[in-house]
């Protein structure tokens, strides 16, 4: 007996409809979200400027075919490249994410919502240059900030209750989805076209987390978001051409996303889309460390200071106990050899050992010339990790969203330091008053890596004032930060 499968075209999945309505209809009125987006924009660009000092990153940049220059194309900040918006999005997204130093969102799923700026800025710049060439008005940086707020919200709200890592999928899936949504809005997709674009993003191939975990941790984790945000631009443009979508891409029996990739479970939602994620985003301010280790690094800096005060050295340490949360143990608790910088910045023991020894943790500390110091691995071998259920609970509590770590140091003479507990990193919303001045200093320092003093002053004069920056044309500002 044959089974009957209806070929009646279903309605668009509600998850997609909700995103479409949010992107197209929601008006952003939160001053806190806009202010935070301004800081996020500066910090994200700064992360990209620092990445340009690393050849492992810059070798991936530029056009697909060497020497290609696209008239009225999007420029890549800090470089002389002018590319089509898809490749420009890859370039910008890659420099943003390369050093694991841009913002973070932690929930059932984690990720870095500012990764979406790769697609947003490339598209906005390309649209602006094309408009100017045709005698029309450019988009403003205000449009970029609003798109960032909405991309943050889409990525972050879905991540609150839905763990893609637990089914082996990488979080950049959400970058592709969020970027498709806001880029689609920028290029003028209708609601039907935008729904089509989002369905194309869901039906697309999705990266595995292989490159983020032992024993395969590698540098793709530094360009995966660039790949995702550029793919989003491509899919939005395909939808703009009139290409059809797949309305039940999530819910279709057997062949839909839920059945194929999410163990048959529907997405769950804690809240409606608004401005919550940008308002509560976590900044990486002091240390380019995987975010679950940020507070551990702060604690390790305190250990270093206490060693100096006591006249002790790391050689006299017998054991370091790291009390932490479940996500940290699952992602960055790592024993054995570390094979490359990407491996090291996802190892909590390495990220504690370096500041205990040297009183610092910079992007350069993941490179081979530092990692070959035998004292680092000796100290790593003296560490153990243990989950604190309360830390895990507070990590998921929407009223706290802590990322706690605690260090207990025992010495060979039997003495020990009082446990050092850090619940909220300097980039947390609860520490904004202390964090924002340091974030702005980080931005200025990163500008100085690429631009002359005169260029820095010109950029700062425009970018530090939110009102002036918001009203600046996208291409005018991108010209300032391109060579």
One digit per residue, the tens of pLDDT, for the chain of length 483 reads 456 678 888 999 999 999 999 999 999 999 999 999 999 999 999 999 999 999 999 999 999 999 999 999 999 999 999 999 999 999 999 999 999 999 999 889 999 999 999 999 999 999 999 999 999 999 999 999 999 999 999 999 999 999 999 999 999 999 999 999 999 999 999 999 999 999 999 999 999 999 999 899 999 999 999 999 999 999 999 999 999 999 999 999 999 999 999 999 999 999 999 999 999 999 999 999 899 999 999 999 999 999 999 999 999 999 999 999 999 999 999 999 999 999 999 999 999 999 999 999 999 999 999 999 999 999 999 999 999 999 999 998 988 889 999 999 999 999 999 999 999 999 999 999 999 999 999 999 999 999 999 999 999 999 999 999 999 999 999 999 998
Which parts of 79-224 are beta strand (E)?
82-83, 105-106, 110-111
Helix (H) or strand (E) holding 17: helix 14-25
User: Is the Cβ–Cβ distance between 153 and 160 less than 8 Å?
Assistant: no
Closest CA to 188 of 133, 136, 257, 247: 136
Cα–chain center distance at 168: 18
**pTM (2 d.p.):** 0.92
In 10 A of CB 466, how many CB atoms?
19
User: Is the Cβ–Cβ distance between 14 and 196 less than 8 Å?
Assistant: no
How far, in Å, are 346, 353, 381 from residue 215 at the CA level? 12, 20, 18
Which parts of 188-313 are beta strand (E)?
none
- By residue count, the chain amounts to 483
d(CA 171, CA 110): 7
Can you read off the two tokens belonging to residue 382? 């003296």
Closest CA to 127 of 175, 64, 75, 78: 75
Which parts of 378-465 are beta strand (E)?
383-387, 405-411, 420-422
């Amino acid at each position: 007996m044959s089974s009957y499968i209806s070929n009646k075209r279903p309605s668009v999945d509600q998850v997609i409809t909700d995103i479409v309505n949010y992107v197209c209809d929601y008006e952003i009125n939160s001053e806190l979200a806009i202010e935070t987006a301004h800081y996020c924009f500066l910090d994200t660009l700064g992360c990209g400027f620092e990445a340009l000092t690393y050849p492992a990153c810059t070798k991936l940049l530029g056009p697909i075919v060497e020497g290609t220059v696209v008239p009225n194309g999007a420029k890549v900040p800090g470089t002389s490249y002018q590319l089509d918006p898809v490749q420009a999005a890859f370039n910008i997204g890659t420099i943003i994410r390369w050093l694991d130093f841009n913002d973070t969102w932690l929930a059932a799923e984690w990720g870095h919502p500012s990764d979406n700026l790769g697609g947003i800025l490339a598209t906005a710049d390309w649209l602006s240059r094309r408009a100017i060439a045709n005698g029309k008005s450019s988009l403003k940086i205000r449009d970029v900030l609003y798109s960032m707020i909405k991309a943050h919200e889409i990525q972050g709200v879905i991540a609150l209750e839905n763990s893609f890592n637990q089914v082996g999928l990488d979080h950049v899936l959400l970058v592709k989805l969020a970027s498709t949504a806001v880029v689609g809005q920028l290029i003028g997709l209708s609601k039907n076209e935008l729904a089509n674009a989002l369905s194309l993003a869901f039906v697309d191939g999705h990266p595995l987390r292989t490159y983020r975990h032992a024993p395969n941790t590698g540098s793709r984790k530094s360009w995966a978001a660039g790949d995702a945000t550029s793919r989003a631009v491509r899919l939005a443009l395909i939808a703009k051409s009139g290409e059809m979508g797949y309305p039940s891409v999530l819910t279709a029996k057997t062949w839909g996303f839920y059945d194929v990739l999410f163990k048959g479970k529907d997405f769950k939602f804690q809240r409606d889309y608004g401005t919550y994620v940008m308002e509560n985003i976590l900044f990486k301010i002091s240390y380019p460390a995987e975010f679950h280790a940020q507070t551990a690094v702060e604690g390790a800096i305190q250990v270093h200071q206490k060693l100096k005060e006591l006249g002790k050295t790391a050689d006299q340490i017998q054991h370091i106990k790291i009390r932490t949360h479940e996500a940290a143990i699952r992602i960055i608790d790592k024993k054995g050899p570390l094979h490359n910088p990407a491996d090291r910045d996802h190892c909590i023991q390495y990220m504690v050992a370096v500041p205990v020894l040297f009183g610092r943790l910079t992007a350069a500390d993941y490179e081979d010339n530092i990692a070959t110091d035998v004292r680092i691995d000796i100290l790593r071998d003296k560490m153990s990790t243990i989950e604190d259920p309360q830390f895990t609970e507070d990590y998921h509590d929407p009223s706290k969203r802590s990322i706690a770590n605690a260090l207990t140091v025992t010495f060979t003479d039997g003495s020990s330091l009082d446990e050092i507990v850090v619940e909220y990193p300097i980039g947390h919303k609860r520490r904004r008053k202390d964090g924002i001045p340091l974030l702005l200093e980080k931005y200025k320092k990163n500008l100085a890596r690429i631009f002359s003093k005169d260029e820095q002053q010109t950029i700062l004069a425009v970018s530090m004032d939110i009102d002036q920056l918001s009203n600046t044309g996208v291409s005018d500002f991108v010209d300032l930060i391109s060579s």
